[in-house]
Amino acid sequence: MYNEQLLIGTLVAINIFTFLIMVSDKRKSILGDGTERIPEGLIFFMAVACGSLGVYVGMLLLRHKTRKWYFQIGIPLLIFQNLATLYIIRQILS
C-alpha cells in the first residue's frame, strides 16, 4: 500500500544526506589538508537519485561548485527531472 509520508520522509532524508555531502566536500576544500575530496560524480549521482534539492541548497548556502557550468545548468535541470520522477512514482503508487 502507498504511504505518502514514507515517500516524503525518504526524500527529506536523501536531500539532507546530499546536503551533508556538499558540506563535507566544502570543508575538505577549505582545509586543504590532503584528505580525499568527494568525487563530483558521486554528487551528481546523489542529485539524480532525488537529492538535487540538497545539492542546490548546498550550492546556494555554501557557495560550493557554483563556478562549474555543469553544476550551474545540470542541478536545476535535475530538480525538474526529480519532480517529474516523483510525479510518475506517485501516479503509479496511488
Q: 74 is in which domain, residue-wise?
A: 7-25+38-93
**Which long-range contacts link 62-70 to residues 24+ away (Cβ below 8 Å)?**
62/22, 62/23, 62/26, 64/22, 64/25, 64/26, 64/29, 65/22, 65/40, 68/40
Residue 15 lies in a domain: yes
Indicate the number of domains in the chain.
1
Residue 14 lies in a domain: yes
- Between CA 38 and CA 72 the distance in angstroms is 18
pLDDT of residue 1: 58
pTM for the full predicted model: 0.92
How many other CB atoms are found less than 10 A from the CB of residue 13? 12
- Between CA 29 and CA 19 the distance in angstroms is 15
Residue 77 lies in a domain: yes
pLDDT of residue 66: 96
Residue 43 lies in a domain: yes
Q: What residue ranges of the chain have pLDDT lower than 70?
A: 1-2
Residue 30 lies in a domain: no
Residue 1 lies in a domain: no
Q: Which residues contact 36 (CB under 8 A, 6 or more apart)?
A: 28
